[in-house]
Amino acid sequence: MSLDSVFEPARVAVVGASDRPGKVGSVIWKNLAAFDGEIIPVTTSADRVGGVPAVPSLTEIEGTVDLAILVVPARAAPVIARQAAAKGVGGIVVLAGGFAETGPAGAALQAELVEAAGPVRIVGPNCFGIQNIARGLNASITMAGDIEPGKVALVTQSGAYGMAIHSLALDENLRFGKVYSSGNKADIGDHEVIRYFHEDPGTGIVCLLAESVTDGAELAAAIRAASPTMPVIVTKTGRSEAGARAALSHTGALGTDDAVFRAAMRQAGAITVRSGLEMLDVARVLATQPLPQGTRAAIITNSGGVGVELADMLEDEGVEVPELSPALRDRIAERLPPIGSARNPVDMTPIWSRFAELYPGLTETLARSGEVDLVIPVLLQRAAMDEATLVGLRDTVAELRAAGNQVPVYCCWVTPRDGRAMAGMLQSVGIPCLEWPERVARAVGHAVRYAASRSGINPPVRVDPSAPFGLADGPVPATEAARILARYGIGTVESTLCATADEALAAAERLAGPVVMKTAVPSVAHRAEVDGVRMDLSTGDDVRDAYGDLSTLGAEVLVQPRLEGVEMAVGAVRDPVFGPLVMAGMGGTMVELLEDVAFALAPVSKEEAIGMLESLKGFPLLAGYRGRPAVDLDTLGEAIAGASRLAAEHPELSEVDLNPVIATGSGAVAVDWKLYVSHPPESGRA
C-alpha cells in the first residue's frame, strides 16, 4: 500500500489539538501552520482551535481524511485508531510512548492498537512524527522553521536523537526534504519507507538511523533495489537480543548481530557509517557535489602538517593522493612562493596576502587537469576567515559546473569556533565544509567507494523453497549429509564409515597412503575439542591404536585420505532477523580465533561468493602467495554458492558447517561437514 496518505495528505486531522501553551496539541497545531492542505482540529475541550471550528471525533468530520495526528495518551490510542478505521483514514501518527518499549503490558496495548487500526497505516507509536518540508507538513513535535526543502530524507527510530540530528543538519546547511520517525515500527517497516522514497522524485538520498531491525531480509532487499541510483546511508545503534543463539557451528558462533548487519548492508550496497554525525557528513558530500569518478584526490593547503594528516587519512580510506605529473607541477610551482610545494598536497605556505588568488586558481587548475578526481581545499585559520577567498572559491566551483566540469570540491574546515559561520558562504551554494581531516577523509572515502561500487550491485539470486528432506531434528548422519551436499555441487572427501578396528584397517589399506580418522558421533559438534581426530596415520598399528582411542567416543569412525591444501571454512546459518546467511573464511581449528570470515545473505551467485573470498585478509593464500600455487576459485566459489542455495531452499536446515574445506589448484573438497535440522515451529515439528 502506498504511503501517500502519510507524506502527501490533502486533509490532516489533529486529534487532541489545542491552543493552550505548553500542550503538545498546541505544538503540533502551530507546526502545521504552513501546511498547504486543510487542517482539522479534533477535540472535546474547545469549540475552536486557532480560529478553526473543532469537531469532537474523527467520525464526525465531513469528507475524507488522509492523515490523523494522535496527540492522546497511549491508553486512548486504540479507541482513536478504531475511529480512524471506521472513517477510512489513510494513516495515523501515534506520538505517545507507553507501548512495546515499556514491557509486556505495553506490548499488549500496542497489539490492541494495530488490531484496532485494521487497514489504517500506523506511524509509530512512540515517535516524534513526520515532515514533508516542500508541503509545509510538519506533523511532528520538532520545529522545522522556514527552510528550503532538499533531496535528503531522514528515517530515524530514535526520537530525541533524530531531532538532534535534524537540527544539526540544518545548522550545517544540509537540507532535508522528508523526515520520518519510525518509533516502535508497529506497522510500517523501514523497508516500506525506503521503497517509497526510492520512487519519490523529490528524494535523492536516504539517511537511516536504526536502533533495531525487525525484518532484515526485506530491509536489505529494499536497499539493494535503491542503491544503484539512490544512496542509502545507514547507522545502527545497539544490538538486537533476537540474535542471541546457542551456536553449534563455527558460522553461528561468528555470526554476531553486528557482523550480520554489516554484511547484509554491504551486500545491499548501503553506505554503513559509525555515527549520526558521520551519516550527516556523507549526506552533505553526496547531496551537494557530483559523485567522484575515481580515487585520486588533490589537496590544497596553507599548512603542511594538516595537508599531510589529511593525505594519510585519505589513504586509510582507499583514496589515493597521487604525485602530480612534472608538467602540472611546473604550472603550479610558477604560482607558488619559493618555499611552497607543488607535489600534492599542494602547499602554498601561510602566504596570507595571496589566499584569495591561490585557493580559487589552484582549485580550477587541478579540477581541469585530468589528473585527479576530486579536490579538497584545506581552509585553515585566516583562509577560512577571509571573505575574498571564500567568494573566489564559490565562484570558481560555479564556473566549473557551468562549463560541464564534474570534479567534486570538498572543503576541510579548520578554524576557531567563532569562524564557523563563514562556512555558510560555501555551504549555502552546495560546497560542503567538513571540520578537520578525519571527518573529511571518512566522508570522502564513503563517496568514492559508493561511486565505484553502485554499478556492481546485482539483483538477488532467486530460489524457491524445496520439499523438506524428511529428516528428524538434530545432526544429520555424515553419509546422508554427504549425499545432500553432493546435490548442491559440494564435494566431500572419500570416506568410509567403520564400526571395528578391522574395518578401519581395511579402509586404510584401500586408500594406500596416510589417512585421517575421526569420530563419527553425530552429537559431537567440534571434533578437535574432544580429541576426536587422528592425523597422518601410515601403519596398521597406527590405525588400530587410533580406532581404540576414538571408539571411546562412539563405535563408528570415519577413515579418509589425508589431503593437503589451503584450509577454508564454509557454512550457513539461519539468522532470526535476516534469514539464511552464508559464511566463507579461512578455516581450520583457528577459525573462531582469527575471525577472518565474510558473511552474505543467502543465496549468492558464484561471482558474489568469489567476491567474499577476495574480501578476506587471507586471500593472498588463495591467490598464490609467495610462489605457492593458486587455488581453484571457481570450484571454491561454487561450493559457497551451493551452501547458500541449500540454506535458502531448505528452511528446516538451521546450520551448515563445512570446516575445513581443502582448496587446491584443481578443486575444493570438504573433509569435515555437518548439517543440523531444526524444523520451524509452524511446521508442526518439534
Q: Say how far apart CA 494 and CA 511 lie, in whole Å.
A: 9
Strand pairing class (52-53; 433-435)? unpaired
Residue 481 pLDDT > 70: yes
pLDDT tens-digit readout, 354-393? 999 999 999 999 999 999 999 999 999 888 888 999 999 9
| CATH code of the domain in which 636 resides | 3.30.470.20
**pLDDT interval class at 428 (50, 70, 90):** confident
Nearest Cα to Cα of residue 128 among 88, 172, 69, 181:
181
Q: Are residues 588 and 623 in the same domain?
A: yes
Task: From 509, 539, 561, give the residue that closes a domain.
Answer: 561
Q: Are residues 20 and 138 in the same domain?
A: yes
Q: Are residues 116 and 224 in the same domain?
A: yes
**pLDDT interval class at 246 (50, 70, 90):** very low
- Nine-digit cell at 193? 519507507
Question: HEC profile for 519-562?
Answer: ECCCCCCCHHHHCCEEEEECCHHHHHHHHHHHCCCCCCEEEEEC
Task: From 525, 543, 561, give the residue that closes a domain.
Answer: 561
Residue 294 pLDDT > 90: yes
Provide the β-strand partners of residue 38: 11
The per-residue pLDDT for 591 is 65
* pTM listed for this prediction: 0.88
The per-residue pLDDT for 165 is 77
User: What is the rounded average pLDDT of the residues 491-513?
Assistant: 92
Residue 491 pLDDT > 70: yes
| CATH code of the domain in which 80 resides | 3.40.50.720
Q: Tell me how many helices (H) and strands (E) the chain has.
A: 24, 30
Q: Are residues 200 and 229 in the same domain?
A: yes
Task: From 561, 594, 616, give the residue that closes a domain.
Answer: 561
Residue 238 pLDDT > 70: no
pLDDT tens-digit readout, 553-595? 988 899 999 999 999 999 999 998 899 999 999 987 666 666 7
pLDDT tens-digit readout, 159-172? 777 777 777 777 77
Q: Is residue 245 part of a domain?
A: no
Q: Is residue 527 part of a domain?
A: yes
Q: Is residue 488 part of a domain?
A: no
Contacts of 540 (CB under 8 A, 6+ apart): 505, 508, 509
Report which DSSP code applies to 456: G
Q: Are residues 144 and 195 in the same domain?
A: yes
| CATH code of the domain in which 516 resides | 3.30.1490.20
Q: Are residues 557 and 570 in the same domain?
A: no
Q: Are residues 545 and 587 in the same domain?
A: no
Q: Are residues 527 and 638 in the same domain?
A: no
- Of residues 224 and 679, more confidently modeled: 224
The per-residue pLDDT for 682 is 56
- Contact call for residues 565 and 532 (beta carbons, < 8 A): no
- Contact call for residues 421 and 389 (beta carbons, < 8 A): no
Q: Are residues 59 and 206 in the same domain?
A: yes
User: What is the rounded average pLDDT of the residues 492-516?
Assistant: 93
- Nine-digit cell at 403? 562549463
The per-residue pLDDT for 97 is 93
Sequence letter at residue 535: M
Strand pairing class (653-664; 673-677)? antiparallel
Nearest Cα to Cα of residue 638 among 587, 564, 568:
568
Q: Are residues 552 and 668 in the same domain?
A: no
Q: Is residue 258 part of a domain?
A: no
pLDDT tens-digit readout, 87-143? 999 999 999 999 999 999 999 999 999 999 999 999 999 999 999 999 999 999 987
User: What is the rounded average pLDDT of the residues 246-250?
Assistant: 38
Q: Is residue 478 part of a domain?
A: no
The per-residue pLDDT for 297 is 98
pLDDT tens-digit readout, 4-35? 999 999 999 999 999 998 899 999 999 999 99
- Contact call for residues 494 and 673 (beta carbons, < 8 A): no
Q: Are residues 344 and 442 in the same domain?
A: yes
pLDDT tens-digit readout, 295-304? 999 999 998 8
Q: Is residue 480 part of a domain?
A: no
Give Cα 123 distance to the centre of its chain.
23
Q: Are residues 188 and 202 in the same domain?
A: yes
pLDDT tens-digit readout, 191-210? 999 999 999 999 999 999 98
Q: Is residue 481 part of a domain?
A: no
Percent of the chain having pLDDT more than 90?
73
Query: Which domain range does residue 575 map to?
Result: 566-683
The per-residue pLDDT for 53 is 95
How many structural domains are present in the chain? 4
